[in-house]
Amino acid sequence: MADLSINFAGIQSPNPFWLASAPPTNTGDQIMRAFDAGWGGAVWKTLGDPIVDTSSRFGSIDVGNSRMVGFNNIELITDRPLEVNLREIREVKRKYPKHVVIASLMVESKEDWRDIIKRCIDAGADGLELNFGCPHGMCERGMGSAVGQEPEVLKVVAGWAVEYSTVPVLVKLTPNVGDIRVPGVAAVQAGAHGLSLINTIKSIVGVDLDKMVPYPVVGNRSTNGGYCGPAVKPIALHMVSSLGRDPRVNVPISGIGGIATWRDAAEFIAMGCTSVQVCTAVMHYGFRIVEDMIDGLSNFLDEKGMKSVNELRGKALGAYSEWGDLDLHYKVAAQIDPEKCIGCDLCYVACRDTSVFCIHTAGEELIAGHRAPTRDKAIAKATATGVHVPWVDWDECTGCNLCSLVCPVPGCITMVDDTRGKPFESWNDRIDKGTNKVPGGLRG
């Protein structure tokens, strides 16, 4: 079984799976149960001056029959007194010395930062996470994303924390910026020992059309909140990758945003993360999901012959390049398996209305000289069973993927290599050769 333990800026963790600072990490009791379930670490629900929360405070979007594909909250930081939280941090660390407890912090003045940092470290926190990311409520008070969006302010506040702390300091970044590398690099320059991202994305999750009030409804009003859950994963993955491949970022990254399975986690690690954090998936299904995250990741590493999760880190980062460096001669074509096809014709209508109309039904003709490898089988099945099996004209197919994405039957449409030996040539190669110029070019 592969070794899942990690070292995050000096913090040892039994595995890369941490709970993100959020409702699941509200109390010591919860965190101890989470550790029993298998979580390697937990970032405590952000500490600071206790706040008052509204009711209700969550909202979500469902897509088809999938619940909570995206999740929205207008919750603030902890509503419990600091002393209580500190006492519980001490208890958790005493009972679970090998597990990671990171104190998430958000206060205002320099003195407050000094005071809270000292007390958290005294309580036994293994590290600190500066919450510069909360995009609702707290930012109106000059904290959270109000700090994360101003690189100069971020540098100053992170600098204080680095100065006062004797344990590693992580800066949690807000995605509500134009270029994530600006606050990321500012944090590194301020001396941060690690970065965690993303916090939630500023959002309005929907509108109650009867009350004419956005969700979540608080009396007869609402406010913008923070968006997270499966829907934000691609955004988080891009931001993590941008920092992962930036040479100025020489500190470990804790990846957050839409992670729900070992596969999601493996993707974040492959794009450069050392640990991952989870919030929404635990809110949806409970702490127990970590069992499969551990089991699945370790089986995956075994299958790939990797002895440690550290071997996975950054593996896919090198393949993340600029568009101009992609091979313009690489070509795939869609192949429909007539055996599997159920004849819904979603691929047909998608290709017709969005792409190049290269998917045809049994009755349609093939242009002379064109290739359509599955046409005969498609016609045979359509004739025999009445199932509307379509086929693809390979000389028209642009290999866009759309049909394979809309097809409801797994494995029915595959994208098959149809490069046919053409050599590599990128857009930038063409620019260099002067064969394909546009004013300004892509390489500036």
Ligand X SMILES: Cc1cc2nc3c(=O)[nH]c(=O)nc-3n(C[C@H](O)[C@H](O)[C@H](O)COP(=O)(O)O)c2cc1C
Nearer to ligand X, 160 or 268 (CB): 268
Give whichever of 186 and 413 is closer to other proteins, judged by the CB atom.
413
CB of 406 to ligand SF4, least distance (A): 6
Does 228 participate in binding ligand X (rule CB under 6 A)?
Answer: yes
Q: Which of residues 35 and 44 has its CB atom nearest to ligand X in the complex?
A: 44
Structure tokens at 9: 């800026």
Give the CA distances from residue 17 to residues 252, 262, 289, in Å, rounded to whole numbers and listed in that order.
14, 9, 11
From 13, 104, 176, 298, residue interacting with ligand X (rule: CB under 6 A): 104
Q: Tell me which H or E stretch contains 194.
A: strand 194-197
- The neighbour count for residue 285, using CB atoms within 10 Å, is 11
CB closer to ligand X, 229 vs 390: 229
Is 377 an interacting residue with respect to other proteins (CB under 8 A)? no
CB neighbours of residue 114 within 10 Å: 16
Binding map of ligand SF4 across residues 323-362, x = CB under 6 A, - = no contact: -------------x----xxxxxxx---------------
Please, which of residues 335-364 interact with other proteins by CB under 8 A?
A: 342-346, 348-349, 361
Residues 57-76, interacting with other proteins (CB under 8 A): 64-65
- From 240, 312, 313, 274, select the one nearest 11 (Cα to Cα): 274
Q: Is residue 253 within the footprint of ligand X (CB under 6 A)?
A: no
Out of 121, 387, 400, 431, name the contact with other proteins by CB under 8 A: 387
Distance of closest approach, residue 349 Cβ to ligand X, in angstroms: 33
Alpha carbon dihedral 178, 180, 184, 186, in 10-degree steps, equals -20
Comparison of 117 and 378: residue with beta carbon closer to other proteins: 378
The reply on whether position 239 binds ligand SF4 by CB under 6 A is no
* Catalytic (active-site) positions: 134
Nearest distance, CB of residue 65 and other proteins, angstroms: 5
Count of CB atoms situated within 10 Å of the CB of 286 = 13
CB 99 within 8 A of CB 15: no
Q: What is the CA radius of gyration of the chain?
A: 25
Q: In the bound complex, what is the minimum distance in angstroms from residue 365's beta carbon to other proteins?
A: 18
Question: Which of 14, 40, 133, 194 touches ligand X by CB under 6 A?
Answer: 133
Position 5, amino acid: S
Instruction: Output the smallest distance, CB 115 to ligand X, in A.
Output: 19
The two beta strands, 6-8 and 100-105, are unpaired
Residue 164, helix vs strand vs coil? helix
- Applying CB under 6 A, which of residues 399, 413, 426, 427 lies at the interface with ligand SF4? 413
Tokens 């929907």 found at: 206
| Shortest Å, Cβ 341 to other proteins | 8
| 247-276 burial code (b ≥16 CB/10 A, e <16) | eebebbbbbbbbbbbbebbbbbbbbbbbbb
Q: Is 366 helix (H, G, I), strand (E, B) or coil?
A: coil
Q: Contacting ligand X (CB under 6 A), which of 27, 145, 165, 199?
A: 199
Task: Write out the H or E segment, with its range, that includes residue 298.
Answer: helix 290-303
Q: Two tokens at 66?
A: 């999938």
Q: What is the contact surface with ligand SF4 in residues (CB under 6 A)?
A: 336, 341-347, 390, 406-407, 409, 412-413
